[in-house]
Amino acid sequence: MARRAAEHRAQGRHTVDLTLGEPDFTPPGHVIAAAQEAAGRVLGYSPANGLPALRRAVRNAVKRDRGLEYADTQVAVGCGAKQVIFNAFFATLLPGDEVIVPAPYWASYPAMIRLCGGLPVVADCPAASSFRLTPQALRAAITERTRWVVLNAPGNPSGATYSHDELAALAEVLRRNPTVMVLSGEIYAHIRYDDREYVGLAQVAPDLRERILLVDGVSKAYAMTGWRIGWGLGPSDLVRAITAVQTQNCTQTAAVSHLATVAALEGPHGILVERQATYRCRRDAALAILRQSPHLDTMVPDGAFYLFPRLATGDDLAVADALLEAGCATVPGSAFGAPGHPRLSFATDITTLKWGCRTVVDVLDEVAS
């Protein structure tokens, strides 16, 4: 849909793009300065697992932000969180191994699992369950072939998060299934809209730490998507396996990006609070418009920068095509394993966002008439 939107613009057609999960901000100024300074050095190959300074910055950040302590041998660095996830699946999945993926899911999860020889097992988590994986759904999905379960919170595309009690209930199921590992995708942890302290499974269930890979990075919170730095924190044997894969597929991530990420993690963090407030303002403005439509049921996302309303009627693919023709590019929920929903990114300026949301309301009125 982003490609089609670009084609429309190239043809001179007015088209706003609410498809991509990419912040419209620049990286913080001190990050840019650190990168400029680093670019003047002689930078050769760095360790496949990241420069020691980067690993130390990651460990200090997760201790500061989540109260979790990890050893240096428990940090895996990759070209964005996406590559860390792929490397983890590649290092651990045997043909036929199963990975439980709650739906709606980030569209890349099933494809990566299949590429690594595994089988994605989709666990439906509808709006009625607030797009969260329940203990009942987790129990029903686990088999003797289950190798991983994916938890992504705040979620893409739903923005859903889990409370301490909800994670504790999932942990009880996992304790009864000791061979199942957990991929805890926490890339949006700094983009949240409630006052609760952020908690992930590693904090709630420390006894499961040896089975959890906590994945994070600088792409979303620090607006550094193109810098390609992400990391996984987990058991040393898993990190060694991930690093072995990394060594053979791209050797390392860019050293300049390593040093810029150190600056991001160790520098001032007030800008994260400011941008969080901006995202909240955008979210609320978009919600105010979308809720004027009787054809949409829009839940309030807890985090991330997406709205994932449910269509009262209509095919999400057809609606996405109609919206694009009207000048607003969205992503149909079918891409996330949740037909009947469009996904709208509010990682864009508020004027563009409001125009796009009004277009959604108008087009749905036309489709329904």
Which pLDDT tens digit goes with each residue over 337-358?
Answer: 999 999 999 999 999 999 999 9
- The two beta strands, 331-332 and 342-345, are antiparallel
What does the pLDDT look like over 57-94, one tens digit per residue? 999 999 999 999 999 999 999 999 999 999 999 999 99
Both 164 and 70 in one domain: the answer is yes
Q: Is the peptide bond preceding residue 154 cis, with omega within 30 degrees of 0?
A: yes
Both 169 and 317 in one domain: the answer is no
- Is the CB of residue 55 less than 8 Å from the CB of residue 49? yes
Pick from 357, 336, 335, 334: nearest CA to 345: 357
What does the pLDDT look like over 252-268, one tens digit per residue? 999 999 999 999 999 99
- Whether 32 is in a domain gets the answer no
Both 206 and 325 in one domain: the answer is no
Q: Is the peptide bond preceding residue 104 cis, with omega within 30 degrees of 0?
A: yes
**Domain-terminating residue out of 232, 247, 266:** 266
Answer yes or no: is pLDDT of 195 > 90: no
344: its two tokens:
């709208």
- Whether 346 is in a domain gets the answer yes
- Whether 202 is in a domain gets the answer yes
116, amino acid identity: C
d(CA 97, CA 143): 10
Instruction: Assign 197 a pLDDT band (cuts: 50, 70, 90).
Output: confident
- Whether 127 is in a domain gets the answer yes
* pLDDT attached to residue 343: 98
Both 335 and 197 in one domain: the answer is no
Q: Over pLDDT 70: what percentage of the chain?
A: 100
Both 252 and 276 in one domain: the answer is no
Q: What CATH number should be reported for the domain holding residue 342?
A: 3.90.1150.10
Answer yes or no: is pLDDT of 42 > 80: no
Whole-structure pTM value: 0.96
Pick from 196, 230, 225: nearest CA to 83: 230
**Domain-terminating residue out of 205, 236, 266:** 266
* pLDDT attached to residue 41: 86
- The two beta strands, 328-329 and 16-17, are parallel
Looking at the structure of the chain, the number of domains it has is 2
Range of the domain at 256: 40-266
d(CA 303, CA 162): 11
**Domain-terminating residue out of 266, 288, 323:** 266
- Whether 33 is in a domain gets the answer no
318: its two tokens:
């057809």
The residues with which 342 forms a beta bridge, in sequence order, are 332
Both 14 and 122 in one domain: the answer is no
Answer yes or no: is pLDDT of 369 > 80: no
- Whether 228 is in a domain gets the answer yes
* pLDDT attached to residue 367: 86
Both 111 and 213 in one domain: the answer is yes
Q: Over pLDDT 90: what percentage of the chain?
A: 94
Instruction: Assign 162 a pLDDT band (cuts: 50, 70, 90).
Output: very high
- Whether 315 is in a domain gets the answer yes
Answer yes or no: is pLDDT of 43 > 90: no
Both 258 and 212 in one domain: the answer is yes
192, amino acid identity: R
Q: In Å, how far are 26, 75, 262 from 259, measured between CA atoms?
A: 17, 16, 5
Answer yes or no: is pLDDT of 272 > 80: yes
Both 110 and 145 in one domain: the answer is yes
Both 222 and 345 in one domain: the answer is no
Both 118 and 257 in one domain: the answer is yes
Residue ranges in the chain assigned as alpha helix (H):
2-10, 29-39, 52-66, 80-92, 108-115, 135-141, 164-175, 201-204, 236-249, 255-266, 270-290, 316-325, 350-368
Q: Count of CB atoms within 10 A of residue 247's CB?
A: 14
DSSP tag of 314: S
Both 9 and 110 in one domain: the answer is no
- Whether 307 is in a domain gets the answer yes
* pLDDT attached to residue 273: 94
Answer yes or no: is pLDDT of 56 > 90: yes
DSSP tag of 20: -
* pLDDT attached to residue 196: 85
d(CA 147, CA 119): 10
Q: What CATH number should be reported for the domain holding residue 258?
A: 3.40.640.10
111: its two tokens:
């494809």
Instruction: Assign 304 a pLDDT band (cuts: 50, 70, 90).
Output: very high
Backbone angles phi, psi at 95, to 5 degrees: -50, 130
b/e string for 189-199 if b means 16 or more Cβ within 10 A? bbbbbeeeebb
